[in-house]
């Protein structure tokens, strides 16, 4: 039985994957239709973003019923069929559990509003301060204060995200019991994995206080009690089943906490998503800014997390793309001049690291940001809030749009590009969000006929299954001072892999350290010309190469 070290996860954003009934929104039947495509890619696990009953204020992350399928996406029968079909193709389903908050349309919140004390205790309600200001000065991650009036009770409820997403009080044992029941419900249905949304912010203190920085993050992120809650959830739900793969989405976390969440000894989660490496194009920490990415910072962060998690026996989820991030090829690559090479460079950089790789839908085709021109083309609540805030700060419309074009979460949420036909073959109806216009050139059909990116991903996924040095090897960063190449070494029982990733267009010559020149090596995989490892090695634009060294087994044993 393979472990999650050998697996690769494919993320499906269901709204935008494949529409089977022409209503413009992707659905479960659409996913079922495309299972053979995903099986061909070779992925093992399908993480599907939330498709539960939801008013869709935050595209399904505002859940009104955790155990029913939103009719927008299909029925429970469709879901059962999906499980059966994925099993037929030897794949598993990973569900997205949004347990930090519910939609304010959830029955619990509605009953709380009607005055039921039991359900009022499910949420975090507080009196305003004596001067009438909010209970604390915390800000919502989507902009504005983190508190909103709780009907006309005079109290306010906490919402770390949108005003329609009320934070649950995990300190209440009844809440925990309800949530663990939800996880168990889906386990019973045959789900084999869970992605836990912002799970490191569930541990709020009993007494909430103002934050010195006026934001509040440190007062609710990675609190020791969050670890206790996650451990309890493990013991009460997925920890009771064999081989369940879990990943926690960790907002602004630390390596130390990443280790604690994912070290198997602690029985919390299998692995964590951290995001520091995706903030390297934030100007002074501000997402809504426009600045070139800082390559040295990117590689240092990847390196620190790789080394740190390796030392502490933690496990990273590896990714450059997801539904909250702009397309990595538009961000760190060059889709105009070096389309295939930069797509492959980003893929290889991630897939040969220590951890479990995640492929976000369309990444395997090199899908790019859509470059929408109008604010009305964007749907995302965070984007619209940011637009308003930047306007209030006095930025002109054109400048705001330049930022939004680069940073909006909708960059990754445009429909999957299946064919060159109308709406990229995604829907026969009116898509809920526009497509990137380049679907004529970038689409599955064309990629399968004449492209090389899909097959490159396929090879990387296959290599992870075949080579323990990839799935199990230690990690060591080398040549860390180099300004345009990120190089690392993986080692396992005498086998070694040297991975060289060149992130820029100007060719560069690098000097290979002596230790790699004394033994025979093989060119394993890359996007340039197949060649031997030499003391001086020229790397072309966005070139990535991995060399493999098989060390004499006797030597390995003696060392």
DSSP H stretches of helix in 26-172: 28-33, 35-41, 76-88, 107-113, 117-120
User: In this structure, how many other beta carbons lie within 10 angstroms of the beta carbon of residue 266?
Assistant: 16
Beta bridge partners of 246: 194
Binding characters for ligand NOJ, 154-193, by CB under 6 A (x = yes): -------x--------------------------------
Say how far apart CA 239 and CA 212 lie, in whole Å.
38
The contact mask relative to ligand NOJ for 204-233 (x = CB under 6 A, - = no) is ------------------------------
Q: Which one of 27, 58, 364, 491 is in contact with ligand NOJ (CB under 6 A)?
A: 58
Q: Which of 162, 197, 491, 543 is catalytic?
A: 197
- A 10 A CB-CB count for 22 gives 10
In this chain, which of 99, 198, 201, 525 binds ligand NOJ, going by CB under 6 A? Answer: 198
Q: How many CA atoms lie within 13 A of 244 on its CB side?
A: 26
Question: Contact between 105 and ligand NOJ (CB under 6 A)?
Answer: no
Q: Can you say whether the dihedral through the CA atoms of 324, 330, 333, 339 is positive or negative? A: positive
162 catalytic per annotation: no
- Least distance CB 279 / ligand NOJ (angstroms): 15
The least CB distance from residue 262 to ligand NOJ, in Å, is 18
- Nearer to ligand NOJ (CB atom), residue 58 or residue 406: 58
249 is a catalytic site residue: yes
Q: Quote the tokens at residue 35.
A: 């299972």
Handedness of CA 298, 302, 307, 309 (dihedral sign): positive
Which listed residue (197, 281, 364, 543) binds ligand NOJ by CB under 6 A?
A: 197
In this complex, which beta carbon is closest to ligand NOJ, that of residue 58 or of residue 70? 58
CB contact set of 274 (below 8 Å; sequence gap of 6+): 250, 253, 258, 305, 316
Smaller CB separation from ligand NOJ, 199 or 403 = 199
Site for ligand NOJ in 315-334 (CB under 6 A): 323-324
Site for ligand NOJ in 392-451 (CB under 6 A): none
Of 44, 156, 249, 410, the active-site residue reads 249
Which 8-state DSSP code applies to residue 548? E
Cβ distance to ligand NOJ smaller for residue 47 or 372: 47
At residue 262, the 3 state secondary structure works out as helix
Q: Smallest distance, Å, CB 285 to ligand NOJ?
A: 19
- In the bound state with ligand NOJ, the residue whose beta carbon lies nearer, of 38 and 98, is 98
For 248, residues 6+ apart whose C-beta sits below 8 A from its C-beta are 195, 196, 199, 200, 230, 261, 262, 268, 269, 271, 272, 273
Q: How many CB atoms lie within 10 A of CB 214?
A: 9
Alpha carbon distance 418, 428 (integer Å): 12
* Number of residues counted as binding ligand NOJ (CB under 6 A): 9
Q: Which of 98, 124, 208, 247 binds ligand NOJ (CB under 6 A)?
A: 98
Among 47, 61, 123, 547, binds ligand NOJ (CB under 6 A): 61
The half-sphere exposure of 1 on its side-chain side, counting CA atoms within 13 A, is 5
- Helices (H) then strands (E): counts for the chain: 18, 22
- Provide the binding-site residues for ligand NOJ, judged by CB under 6 A: 58, 61, 98, 161, 197-198, 249, 323-324
The residues annotated with a catalytic role in the active site are 197, 249
């Amino acid at each position: 039985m393979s472990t999650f070290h050998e697996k690769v996860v494919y993320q499906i954003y269901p709204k935008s994957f494949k529409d089977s009934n022409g209503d413009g929104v992707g659905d479960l039947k659409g996913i079922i239709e495309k299972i053979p495509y995903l099986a061909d890619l070779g992925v093992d696990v399908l993480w599907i973003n939330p498709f539960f009953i939801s008013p869709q204020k935050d595209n399904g992350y505002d859940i009104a019923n955790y155990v029913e399928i939103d009719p927008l996406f299909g029925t429970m029968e469709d879901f059962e069929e999906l499980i059966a079909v994925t099993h037929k193709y030897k794949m598993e389903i990973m569900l997205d559990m949004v347990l930090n908050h519910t939609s304010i349309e959830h029955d619990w919140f509605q009953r709380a509003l009607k005055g039921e004390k039991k359900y009022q205790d499910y949420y975090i309600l507080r009196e305003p301060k004596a001067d009438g200001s909010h209970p604390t000065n915390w800000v919502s991650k989507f902009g504005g204060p983190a508190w909103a009036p709780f009907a006309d009770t005079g109290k306010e409820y906490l919402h770390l995200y949108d005003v329609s997403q009320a934070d649950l009080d995990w300190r209440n044992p009844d809440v925990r019991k309800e949530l663990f029941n939800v996880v168990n419900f889906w386990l019973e249905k045959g789900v084999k994995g869970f992605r836990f949304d912002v799970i490191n912010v569930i541990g709020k203190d009993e007494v909430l206080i103002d934050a010195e920085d006026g934001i509040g993050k440190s007062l609710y992120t990675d609190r020791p009690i969050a670890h206790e809650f996650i451990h309890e959830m493990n013991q009460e739900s997925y920890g009771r089943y064999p081989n369940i793969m879990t990943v926690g989405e960790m907002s602004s976390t630390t390596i130390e906490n990443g280790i604690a969440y994912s070290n198997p000894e602690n029985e919390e989660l299998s692995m964590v998503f951290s995001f520091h490496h995706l903030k390297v194009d934030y100007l002074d920490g501000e997402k809504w800014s426009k600045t070139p990415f800082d390559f040295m910072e990117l590689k240092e962060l990847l390196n620190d997390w790789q080394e740190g998690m390796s030392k502490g026996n933690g496990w990273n989820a590896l990714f450059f793309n997801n539904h909250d991030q702009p397309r990595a090829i538009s961000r760190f690559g060059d889709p105009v001049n070096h389309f295939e090479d930069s797509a492959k460079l980003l893929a290889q950089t991630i897939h040969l690291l220590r951890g479990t790789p995640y492929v976000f839908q369309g990444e395997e085709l090199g899908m790019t940001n859509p470059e929408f021109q109008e604010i009305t083309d964007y749907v995302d609540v965070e984007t619209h809030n940011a637009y308003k805030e930047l306007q209030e700060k006095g930025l002109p419309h054109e400048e705001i749009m330049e930022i939004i074009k680069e940073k909006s979460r909708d960059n990754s949420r445009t429909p999957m590009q299946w064919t060159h036909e109308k709406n990229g073959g995604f829907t026969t109806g009116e898509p809920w969000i526009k497509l990137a216009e380049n679907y004529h050139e970038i689409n599955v059909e064309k990629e399968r006929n004449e492209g090389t990116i899909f097959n490159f991903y396929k090879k990387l996924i296959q290599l992870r299954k075949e080579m323990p040095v990839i799935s199990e090897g230690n990690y060591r960063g080398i040549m860390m001072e180099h300004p345009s190449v990120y190089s690392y070494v993986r080692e396992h029982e005498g086998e070694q892999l040297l991975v060289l990733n060149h992130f820029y267009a100007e060719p560069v010559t690098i000097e290979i350290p002596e230790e790699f020149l004394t033994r025979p090596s093989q060119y394993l995989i890359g996007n340039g010309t197949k060649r031997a490892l030499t003391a001086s090695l020229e790397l072309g634009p966005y070139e990535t190469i991995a060399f493999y060294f098989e060390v004499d087994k006797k030597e390995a044993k003696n060392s």
